[in-house]
Amino acid sequence: MANPNIPGVSESEQALLYAKLNEYNRGRASFKEAGVYLVVLPRPEKPHYSLWLYSPLPERQTILYIRDLTADVHTSLRMASSMLYYSRRCLILMEYNEKRMQSRGEDLIFFGKYRGHFLHEILEVDPNYLSWIAYKFVPQIPKQERFVKIARAYHSVHLDLMLRKTKEMRKSSCF
């Protein structure tokens, strides 16, 4: 996959940035088996970089929005790489693809206390509820089965974030 041109960054700086990103990704799992985290370049209507997940788990909506980052490429990559340092998934930069990255409403919660909210919002606010949806909710129609698969993909993001927190707590504890 070709490296996209980063706006406002010189070519030599881009080469250095992509070299560091390749070093970061060395030894991580293939995107076909584990998925990949995507740092999406800003576009005219969204001036910030954003973090997305490509997951092979759901059949249709395979690229899922996670959160917005900052307007600076260095800060955004630093945030994403530090949040996901212990993840098996690679981290790549790419441009926004309107066809693949548009929400079709399949990740919209249709019941309970968070009715009308997206799963990425629940990931930030109440990850335990997201875990319940992913593994305890019983789907009754095919659309709900896709919803559960998307919830499992978001739950895997939560596990990647928690893995970082547990590893950092072990390093700093005295016992």
Residue 39 included in any domain: yes
pLDDT of residue 20: 95
Nearest to 70 by CA among 44, 47, 92, 91: 47
pLDDT of residue 173: 57
CA 75 to chain centre: 16
| Helical (H) or strand (E) element with 161 | helix 142-172
Question: With bands split at pLDDT 50, 70 and 90, how would you rate the model's confidence at 32?
Answer: confident
Average pLDDT over residues 74-102: 92
Phi and psi at residue 146, to the nearest 5°: -65, -40
Average pLDDT over residues 2-29: 91
Question: With bands split at pLDDT 50, 70 and 90, how would you rate the model's confidence at 83?
Answer: very high
How many domains does the chain contain in total?
1
Q: Tell me the pLDDT tens digit for each residue of 89-145.
A: 999 999 998 888 887 788 899 999 999 999 999 999 999 999 999 999 999 998 899
pLDDT of residue 172: 59
Structure tokens at 124: 């930030």
Residue 62 included in any domain: yes
What percentage of residues in the chain have a pLDDT greater than 90? 71
Sole residue written with tokens 């739950």: 155
Residue 66 included in any domain: yes
Residue 42 included in any domain: yes
Residue 3 included in any domain: no
Structure tokens at 174: 């005295």
Phi and psi at residue 93, to the nearest 5°: -95, 140
Phi and psi at residue 66, to the nearest 5°: -110, -60
Residue 84 included in any domain: yes
Give, in order, the Cα–Cα distances in Å from 55 to each of 38, 73, 130.
11, 23, 17
Q: Tell me the pLDDT tens digit for each residue of 37-67.
A: 999 999 989 999 999 999 888 777 789 999 9
pTM confidence score: 0.89
pLDDT at residue 68 tops 90: yes
Residue 5 included in any domain: no
49 is in which domain, residue-wise?
A: 11-172
What percentage of residues in the chain have a pLDDT greater than 70? 96
Residue 6 included in any domain: no
What is the rounded distance in angstroms from the CA atom of residue 74 to the CA atom of residue 71? 9
Q: CB pairs under 8 A, 24+ apart, for 131-134?
A: 131/155, 131/158, 133/109
pLDDT of residue 3: 85
pLDDT of residue 94: 94
